[in-house]
Amino acid sequence: MSEFMFHSNLNNQNNLIKNKLQLKSRGETVLQAREISYRYGTGSWIMEDVNLGVKPGEVVGLTGKSGAGKTTLAKIIAGYLKPNHGRVTIDGYLLQEKNAPHPVQLVWQHPEKVINPRWRMEKTLLEGGTYTDELLQDLEIKKDWLRRWPSELSGGELQRICLARALGASPGYLIADEMTTMLDAITQAQIWHTVLHMVEKKNIGVLAISHDNALLNRVSDRMVDFSMIRDKYETKK
Ligand SMILES: Nc1ncnc2c1ncn2[C@@H]1O[C@H](COP(=O)(O)OP(=O)(O)OP(=O)(O)O)[C@@H](O)[C@H]1O
Ligand SMILES: [Mg+2]
């Protein structure tokens, strides 16, 4: 993966295709990672036969040891990596490359790595599609930030921009991979408060990945330990 992933998965990416599906969920638009196996190149398997489901409006906390493969799974679900085996579906439909924002948006731990340093913030925001004043207000993004360069914002401010970019793509699902780890406790709480409010408002499903079990306990409807699903203990949903 390149050092900068400027465009994230907002363009030329995957979208739902109306292929058949034998895995129809019971009438709900459920995001499902099914029997996912992955290894980098010819290295050892990072995961084998992993299953994980997230429902609309549900917040699933994913915890696990460092290096276990959580971010790798997040990248697979958000379409950055192709699994060696298995598939990711929404409502039973496979995701396929299309010129539209990916229905699963990923927010990373280090916003500066996924923002083009040569773009002013407004251009970065527009990468997600459109943004509304309401979205900016919800995320407490000040209008004057939009004229600035990334180096002229704090880490927490940049992360809000990344969140706005992700939410501007109107995703069905959001993956927050250590999204607030680098931030102070107050900013962390503010951002999660906003995210949970928006998740409820728009019925977005969230996969929250963190080593901070206390945080995950607060924000999640249920918790999943990566070592459990990697070892096939998670029941197939
Ligand atoms: N591009 C890559 N090429 C080869 N191996 C990689 C690559 N990216 C990650 N890995 C390896 O894959 C394994 C899983 O990494 P991953 O980043 O998914 O773990 P993680 O659970 O997110 O860890 P952390 O909690 O520290 O963020 C690690 O052993 C890592 O070294
Ligand atoms: Mg990780």
Domain architecture of the chain: domains with CATH: 56-80+96-236 (3.40.50.300)
Cβ proximity of 25 and 1 under 8 Å: no
Predicted TM-score (pTM) of this structure: 0.86
Indicate the average pLDDT of the chain.
Answer: 85
Minimum CA distance residue for ligand 1 atom 2: 40
Output the residue whose Cα is nearest ligand 1's atom 3. 40
Which ligand has the minimum distance to the alpha carbon of residue 67? 1
Q: Which token pair is 73?
A: 């799974």
Ligand 1 proximity of 66 Cβ (cutoff 6 Å): yes
Residues 88-134 have pLDDT tens digits of: 999 888 876 667 788 999 999 899 999 999 999 999 999 878 889 98
> 155-168 and 185-202 are packed helices; what angle lies between their axes, rounded to 10 degrees?
10
- Are residues 97 and 16 in contact, defined by beta-carbon separation less than 8 angstroms? no
Tokens of 83: 């699994």
Instruction: Answer whether 38's CB lies under 8 Å from 84's CB.
Output: yes
Confidence of residue 6 (pLDDT cuts 50, 70, 90): very low
What is the average pLDDT across 219-226?
95
Distance CA 224, CA 59 (A): 11
For ligand 1, is residue 102 a contact (CB within 6 Å)?
A: no
Return the residue whose CA atom lies nearest to atom 11 of ligand 1: 67
Q: Which two tokens stand for residue 2?
A: 């390149």
pLDDT in tens, 33-73: 999 999 999 999 999 999 999 999 999 999 999 999 999 99
Residue type for position 194:
T
Of all protein residues, the one whose alpha carbon is nearest to atom 29 of ligand 1 is 67
C-beta of residue 21 within 8 angstroms of C-beta of residue 167: no
CA geometry: angle at 195 spanning 60 and 79, to 5°? 60
- Closest-lying ligand 1 atom to the alpha carbon of residue 178: 27
Q: Which of 70, 110, 177, 230 to mutate to test the pocket of ligand 1 (most atoms within 8 A of CB)?
A: 70
Higher pLDDT, residue 233 or 72:
72
Band (pLDDT 50/70/90 cuts) for residue 29 is low
Measured between alpha carbons, how far is residue 229 from residues 20, 49, 59, 62, 182 in Å? 26, 8, 17, 10, 27
Ligand 1 close to Cβ of residue 71 (< 6 A):
yes
Distance (angstroms) between ligand 2 centre and the Cα of 71 equals 4
CA of 171 to the centre of ligand 2 (A): 21
Ligand 1: residue whose CA is nearest its atom 4 = 40
Would you state the structure tokens that stand for residue 70, as one six-digit string? 């959580």
Answer yes or no: is the C-beta of 72 below 6 A from any ligand 1 atom.
yes
